[in-house]
Amino acid sequence: MTPTGVWAFARRWLWFFALALLLTAGISFAISIRLPKVYAAWTRLQVTPGQASKGMINYDALLAAERLTRTYSEMVNCAPS
């Protein structure tokens, strides 16, 4: 098929493709506007403790490490949404 033939074919059927596109978009919009609005979000903020100075471990660092371990355990056990 020559380029002129391809162009003639495209011109002849372009209106059909445009009509199908607009019809599909209109039907999709009509269906989606009637669906109930559902919004859901889930997030987890993870803050890590600072470094202990000169290898000294104090009670706050130990408590933070314990809580961080619990957070990691929860993150491993829950499925991403």
The reply to whether 45 and 32 lie within a common domain is no
The reply to whether 78 and 48 lie within a common domain is yes
pLDDT in tens, 9-38: 888 888 899 999 999 999 999 999 999 988
- Single-letter code of the amino acid located at 60: D
Domain that holds residue 46: 40-81
Answer whether 64's CB lies under 8 Å from 51's CB. no
- The backbone torsions φ and ψ at residue 6, rounded to the nearest 5 degrees and listed phi first, read -65, -45
3-state secondary structure of 79: coil
At residue 39 the predicted structure's pLDDT band, cuts being 50, 70 and 90, is: confident
| Number of domains within the chain | 2
The reply to whether 24 and 55 lie within a common domain is no
Both tokens of 73, joined, read 């355990």
The reply to whether 44 and 81 lie within a common domain is yes
pLDDT in tens, 40-67: 777 766 666 666 566 666 777 778 778 8
The reply to whether 46 and 18 lie within a common domain is no
